[in-house]
Structure 1
Amino acid sequence: MQIPLNEFEQIVDEAILKRGVNYYKRGSVIDLSENASGEYEAIVAGREHYTVRLTIENEIINEHQCDCPYYFGSVCKHVVATIFYLQKHYLQLTEVPQQITIKKKTASTAQQIKALLKDIPHQELIAFTEEQCKNDKKFANYFLATFGYLSKNQSKEVYQKQIHYILRTAAGKYDWIDWSEMKHVVNTLMPFLENANRSLKNRNYENVFFITTALLEEVTDAFQFADDSSGDLGYFIESAMALLSELSKQELSEILRKQVFDYCIWSFNTKKFEGWDWHLGILDLAGDLVEKENEADVILGCLDTVSGEYEMEQAQSLKLGLLRRFKSENEVEKYVGQHISNASIRTNEIEKAFKSNDFYRVIQLSEDGIKCDRKDKPGLVKDWYNWLLKAAQAQRHTQKIIEYARLLFIDNFYPQQDYYQILKDHIDAENWDAFLEEIITETSAIKRWGYLDLIRQIYIKEEWWERLFVMLKLNPSMEKIEQNEEYLAKDYAPELIGLYSERILDYVAGSVGRSHYRTACKYLRRMMKLGGNQEVNTLIEFFRKQYPQRKALIDELNQI
């Protein structure tokens, strides 16, 4: 959020603004320095000392950060206190408390290092680096990963050895890389990706091949001895595959093209990546490199060995792509007919038919898909109904449009179109309310998952606020009250305040801990925005008397 220095008092939440001003007035901004032009860092005293960082350009605060645990908005009281000081300072007023000391142009750590690097003699810097590499394995790994691209001895084996050493060093004596070590692994492996990207840009395609294949093999092995709950290793695999894909689209020398192609076939046949998505993905890359029919036959032979339902469907789609490029039209049509139950192949055929306005075939394939997938793949069934709807729309078949849009409106978690609006556009106005009542009755009787949200959306779109409020009263959780506030606040503010009050009382009675107290205070603030200041004060007074031993609760209440 950008904040103009001269207008921030009109932008920030009033309660936060008041607390920030109080912090400023009592001198809680105890230190402020300008580390670079327009970049400020302040220490603000609260329960602890918090660091606030601001970036200002043309009297606009473009960035603001504070390391305090405030989660209810983008601006906390510590940021406000710092901004208030800066506002006064920029306007050259005399209200700055004596406790604040401003240090202009204090050199940051990065600036000090930059200055020293200019002055340190070259030989001393070399000696220092050698000593650090000798004594610190992690530093040595990072150094090699960062500057290895300058070496003339580039090869897959060299990169693989470096990556292997980095991963095994991180694993340590217990042969396991836990989550605390993953940050080091990421930082040390990242230069390899940077090197590969640099090589791709400079058309050093052979080096891209060396790095990406080394990463693929070593990082795949690392999944067996690393905690990848954060997905860091997966990121390197995805990045390596993406770079290989980019490489396959370049104008490679015949020697390198054949080398990359042979690697893809070798890694598949040796099951180097078996069990992972990139096991088949590597054949997809090989497909991009194919120039001759005999090479396509090699890939087709590999694809015929694939087993497993999910993998076979992928393999069939890859095979169809190769058949289209290198085999006869009769072979392609025969293969499509044999594997039309494959959702990707069916979708591809439907798309082709739709583009050519062959709506009869679109309908035929979609209806067959519904029969084929109704039992085991209900998600796909929705896709086939969506194609039936598109065909009906293209043919302006009103009855079918209503039929399919109604079905998809009632039972579709991921809508592809606005089915509600489609229905409204095709049903006569005098029949519209009765049509909606029929849907509400039907879904209420079936009680399919998500039916209440469907009914709620109808109430909102039709602005049936009384019925929406009655629905809320049946399940008035704090989250649901908040969810419906924007629709009901105008007509039902007192009632919402009452519902909030009841829920907050129950919540505080059954919940202990600062995070829970902050949640309760969040909803107390929502009550205030609805005009419930008196009710909030009553609740606060009750909590003070009822739970005097809950110091964290009292502390949070004091900040409202």
Structure 2
Amino acid sequence: MQIPLTEFEQLIDEKILKRGISYFKAGAITDFLEISAGEYEAVVSGTNEYIVKLEVSNNTIVGHNCDCPYDMGPVCKHVVAVIFHLQQDELELNLPPSGKSSKKTKKKTKSVSQQVRELLKAISHQELMDFVKENSQKDKKFRNYFLASFGHLSQNQSKEFYQKQIHSILQTAAGREGWIGWTDMKYVVNTTTPFIENAEKYLVNNNFENVFFISTALLEEMTEAFQYGDDSNGDLGFFIESAMELLSKLVQSEIPISLKQEIFEYCITSFKQKLFEGWDWHLGMLHIACDLIEKESDADIIMNCLDTVTGSYQIEQAQSFKLDLLRRFKDEKEVEAYINKHISNSSIRTKEIEKAFKAKDFERVVKLSMDGITCDEKDKPGLVKVWYNWLLKVAQAKKDTAKIIKYSRFLFIDNSYPEQDYYQILKDNIEEENWQAFLEEIIKEITPKQRWAYTELIRKIYIREEWWDRLFLMLKQNLSMENIQHNEQYLAKDYSAELIEMYSERIINYVEKFVGRKHYQTACRYLRRMKKLGGNDRVIELIELFRKQYPQRKALMDELTRV
């Protein structure tokens, strides 16, 4: 969300504005810095201390971020407080007690980046060394960040070397309580990110061994950290994904044979030792190993590991994975036997159906689909629709009208994610004189079930058939502003006056019940819809009504001027 500094009070929710200016006036901004031209950083004290960053270009905020947990809107009160701080001179929020603005011009403070550059020029090399040594000894966080940023220059690198550094970062964040809270996770992110950045550089520079060390150290330490850290923001998961991505890029590079073998053995050993069991990257390690297969015996090692996987979902993944390996390294007879044994696996069944359909072996498609329906109808109704859709495709390929109608009817009534336009398929295959009776039978069948999906299906029938009188009656039975809008494009031609009155009644009730700029914007959006329907006079009446009834609602008065 871009925010012009001259208009921010009109664009931000009224409640958030009030809270933001209260924070500003209470002196909650304990630190405000211009990092570089147009980039600002501030610390705002509330329930906790939060860091706000603003990026300003051409008198417009083009980027803003706060590390508080607020997610109910685009801007939080902490960001607003910092905007008021930034604009305090223009808004005359810093007036002296006399009420007259001071004419004395403030001297502009140098940005942080300017100050740092000047100091680095002035400080001697020895002074800088002494500073780093002293602060590394007395400040654990400083030491961790320094090692994370420059530890790659050490000559004694290994997985253990990096693991020790990452572990120290996590333990520092956990503190005496032994728990990394949401706010402590910011320190983990800032201090651990340099490892990822350095690993990316190593990859580019063909320093492959260090990429392996950093990736595996991150995987092990971050997986363990899930046991004592709050990952509601997904930060630990980010480091896991980054480490797996680095490993994937690594094994696809031209790496030495000795390193290939080392990575392969690590993947197999970590899997057997269940270092990552319960997480996606447990099986992911075998996928990494798969990219390193040099000979059939390597594939056998991976397949033996896959046979030990537990958990129904994981077993299905492992079976599909193993089938791919069998196709690469074993004969057709062994592959066929494995398919027949594990055909209840939906992924394997789907691939076999696709292969049979492509070969026009419709008999096998029907058999596999029918077996799938029997196998999955109790526990996996979603898959049943997939198998029925294959039966429909076969019927279409064979031009079997009776079966086309049978399968399309089933899929039309009970399918949230249609693969085809079943309504049109039915209409194309049913005789015109029988079509309305066919639809009435479906409507009669599903009306008593009173589920939203069936109600929506009936609505779609009315729209496709242009039965506007029945659609209008359905709308009257379930009136809301959202439903009126949902149907107005179909009913506006014949029922505009009725829709205007329906909107009018509901907008009046809505404004009476709800307060706040967002709600007023919603009400005004529907007022504009009334105007488009030809209800301009009624809209004027409502605006006058609201101005008389709610003159104290400044945000409402403001939004009404935009209608």
1:346 equivalenced with 2:349 (yes/no):
yes
CA drift of 1:338 comes to 1.0
CA drift of 1:474 comes to 1.4
Judge conservation of contact 1:504–1:520 (CA < 8 Å) in 2: no
Which residue among 242, 246, 256 is the counterpart of 1:243?
246
SS at 1:340's partner residue?
A: coil
1 CA distance for matches of 2:521 and 2:262?
64
Which residue among 191, 197, 201 is the counterpart of 2:194?
191
- TM-score of the superposed pair, with normalisation by structure 2: 0.74
1:524 equivalenced with 2:524 (yes/no):
yes
Judge conservation of contact 2:524–2:559 (CA < 8 Å) in 1: no
1 CA distance for matches of 2:546 and 2:142?
55
Aligned CA distance change for structure 1 residues 539 and 176 (closer, same or farther; 3 Å): farther
Which residue among 178, 184, 209 is the counterpart of 1:206?
209
Counterparts of residues 281-292 of structure 1 (less than 5 Å): 281-292=284-295
Judge conservation of contact 1:392–1:400 (CA < 8 Å) in 2: yes
Aligned match of 2:368: 365
Once the two structures are superposed, what CA deviation does each residue of 1:109-137 show, in whole Å capped at 9, x if it has no partner?
46635753774446255555555545543
- Using the TM superposition, name which of 132-141 and 192-201 deviates more: 132-141
CA drift of 1:177 comes to 1.4
Judge conservation of contact 2:511–2:523 (CA < 8 Å) in 1: no
CA drift of 1:294 comes to 2.4
Judge conservation of contact 2:459–2:471 (CA < 8 Å) in 1: yes
Aligned match of 1:502: 505
Aligned match of 1:450: 453
Once the two structures are superposed, what CA deviation does each residue of 1:129-176 show, in whole Å capped at 9, x if it has no partner?
555545543343333323333333321111111111111111122111
RMSD across aligned positions (CA): 4.4
Once the two structures are superposed, what CA deviation does each residue of 1:520-552 show, in whole Å capped at 9, x if it has no partner?
54123322342256555655666677678xx6x
Judge conservation of contact 2:520–2:559 (CA < 8 Å) in 1: no
Counterparts of residues 147-546 of structure 1 (less than 5 Å): 147-427=150-430, 432-511=435-514, 514=516, 518-531=518-531, 532=535, 535=538
1 CA distance for matches of 2:420 and 2:195?
43
Aligned match of 1:90: none
- Using the TM superposition, name which of 153-162 and 486-495 deviates more: 486-495
Counterparts of residues 105-144 of structure 1 (less than 5 Å): 109=111, 112=114, 115-116=117-118, 119-121=121-123, 123=125, 125-130=128-133, 133-134=136-137, 136-144=139-147
Gaps spanning 5+ residues in structure 2: where?
Answer: 12-34, 41-52, 81-100
1 CA distance for matches of 2:63 and 2:191?
30
- TM-score of the superposed pair, with normalisation by structure 1: 0.75
Aligned CA distance change for structure 1 residues 398 and 66 (closer, same or farther; 3 Å): same
1 CA distance for matches of 2:411 and 2:505?
38
2 CA distance for matches of 1:108 and 1:397?
80
Once the two structures are superposed, what CA deviation does each residue of 1:490-522 show, in whole Å capped at 9, x if it has no partner?
5444433332333344445555x63xx632541
Aligned match of 2:88: none
Once the two structures are superposed, what CA deviation does each residue of 1:81-114 show, in whole Å capped at 9, x if it has no partner?
xxxxxxxxxxxxxxxxxx9x9x9xx998466357
Judge conservation of contact 2:54–2:63 (CA < 8 Å) in 1: yes
1 CA distance for matches of 2:529 and 2:74?
14
2:480 alignment partner AA? S
1 CA distance for matches of 2:119 and 2:362?
71
Judge conservation of contact 2:36–2:114 (CA < 8 Å) in 1: no
- Using the TM superposition, name which of 315-324 and 458-467 deviates more: 458-467
Once the two structures are superposed, what CA deviation does each residue of 1:19-63 show, in whole Å capped at 9, x if it has no partner?
xxxxxxxxxxxxxxxx999x799xxxxxxxxx997757xxxx996
2 CA distance for matches of 1:72 and 1:434?
51
CA drift of 1:337 comes to 0.8
Aligned match of 2:556: 556
Identical residues among aligned pairs (%): 57
Aligned CA distance change for structure 1 residues 114 and 359 (closer, same or farther; 3 Å): farther
1:525 alignment partner AA? R
2 CA distance for matches of 1:367 and 1:386?
11
1 CA distance for matches of 2:256 and 2:375?
47
Judge conservation of contact 2:163–2:217 (CA < 8 Å) in 1: yes
Judge conservation of contact 2:447–2:454 (CA < 8 Å) in 1: yes
CA drift of 1:481 comes to 2.8
2 CA distance for matches of 1:55 and 1:432?
62
Judge conservation of contact 1:497–1:527 (CA < 8 Å) in 2: no
1 CA distance for matches of 2:112 and 2:494?
57
SS at 2:175's partner residue?
A: helix
1 CA distance for matches of 2:148 and 2:435?
67
1:503 alignment partner AA? R
1 CA distance for matches of 2:110 and 2:310?
59
Aligned length: 494
Aligned CA distance change for structure 1 residues 211 and 2 (closer, same or farther; 3 Å): closer
2:268 alignment partner AA? I
Aligned CA distance change for structure 1 residues 559 and 446 (closer, same or farther; 3 Å): closer
CA drift of 1:381 comes to 1.0
CA drift of 1:368 comes to 0.9
1 CA distance for matches of 2:119 and 2:403?
74
2 CA distance for matches of 1:521 and 1:377?
43
SS at 2:291's partner residue?
A: helix
Aligned match of 1:96: none
2 CA distance for matches of 1:212 and 1:418?
47
